[in-house]
Amino acid sequence: MLSRSAEGLYWMGRYLERAQHLSRLLRMQAEALVDRPVNEIHFGWLRVYGSLHRQPPVGSLELLAQDDYTLADSYTLADDLTFEPTNPASVWSGISSGRENARHVRHCLSAEMWTCLNRTYLRVQGMTIQDIWASSPERFYAETVADIDTFAGVAAATMYRDEGWRFLNLGRAIERVQLSSALLHAQIVAAERTRDVSEAAWTGLLRLYHALEAYHRTYGLTVVPRQALDLLATDARLPDSLCRSLDMLSAELADTAASPNDQAAGAAQRLMGRMSALVNYAWLDQDDPKALLQQLNEHGRDLHDLLTDSFFNYPVHDVPAR
């Protein structure tokens, strides 16, 4: 497979995974605006922006005691995260960039995949924050999540299982690991910063990862922050847990074709092993998992650089003339 095709599929997977993840977060945040206390809404925005490492357009998210009006305008924040084209992490940017990469690798996709993704792109491109805010913003985010889930299902059902399939899943897996580690880290930081957050914030995090029922079966009805983190990090039966995402990433990396850059590929495999060990072996021995999550996120960025050097931007050696 040509390196530019492999790179296009890899980034398409990353962008769509990013758009879906943020849409799930924003759906939860939009639902909280209806009847949740202002401190919980404030916590949600802190968590979202903290996980994206992005400064909000209003400058600062500070909530003063007994002053609801100090909460940043949710309309402005939602617009920044949904339709802002200059924000590379916005839902609009993720779908637009994913579709652009799909256009470049159209020959690697099934017709059904292209139709599904193009339909989602056309639906989102014509919308603004005014369109979704006037009625039901949570419906827009739910539909976006469903569209990207449908695309993943269509890809699984129709895409040829060659190297292109591997690179698409490789991009999805590494993006999922980085997003999950960043969100769990942001959850801890936001909880420390507010110092007075209810159990609802941790219950919401479990719901985001479809893990609330699994938590109740494992630990009982009372949601304890450290137990919630342990479940989301180490339970391999959860489809979006950190350890399962790392297993998916490791499997796709192992099945990918040999790299033209053996040195970078070997370093990527070793780093992959260290990332898995952090969650599978070191996690339960950590009293404070915040540093471990930060380290895992940094390793994810380093792994991306190694994969780029291994498969996309590897050096080309001159062939001696005969």
Give me the amino acid identity at 230: D
Domain residue extents for the chain: 3-312
Nearest Cα residue to 102 out of 176, 21, 180, 167:
167
Instruction: Map tokens 């899943």 to a residue.
Output: 169
Q: Are 232 and 242 in contact (CB under 8 A)?
A: yes
Q: Are 28 and 204 in contact (CB under 8 A)?
A: yes
Quick one: pLDDT at residue 308?
93
**C-alpha to C-alpha distance for 114 and 130, rounded to whole angstroms:** 28
Quick one: pLDDT at residue 313?
83
Residues 6+ apart with CB under 8 A from 130: none
**C-alpha to C-alpha distance for 307 and 301, rounded to whole angstroms:** 10
Quick one: pLDDT at residue 60?
65
**C-alpha to C-alpha distance for 168 and 177, rounded to whole angstroms:** 15
Q: Are 249 and 272 in contact (CB under 8 A)?
A: yes
Quick one: pLDDT at residue 256?
83
Nearest Cα residue to 90 out of 189, 20, 146:
20
Q: pLDDT digits over 60-105, tens only?
A: 666 544 445 445 488 889 999 999 999 999 999 999 999 999 999 9
Q: What residue ranges of the chain have pLDDT lower than 70?
A: 59-72, 196-197, 316-322
Quick one: pLDDT at residue 63?
56
**C-alpha to C-alpha distance for 149 and 172, rounded to whole angstroms:** 12
Quick one: pLDDT at residue 40?
84
Q: Are 113 and 159 in contact (CB under 8 A)?
A: yes
**C-alpha to C-alpha distance for 48 and 183, rounded to whole angstroms:** 7
Gap between the terminal Cα atoms of the chain: 27
Quick one: pLDDT at residue 70?
44
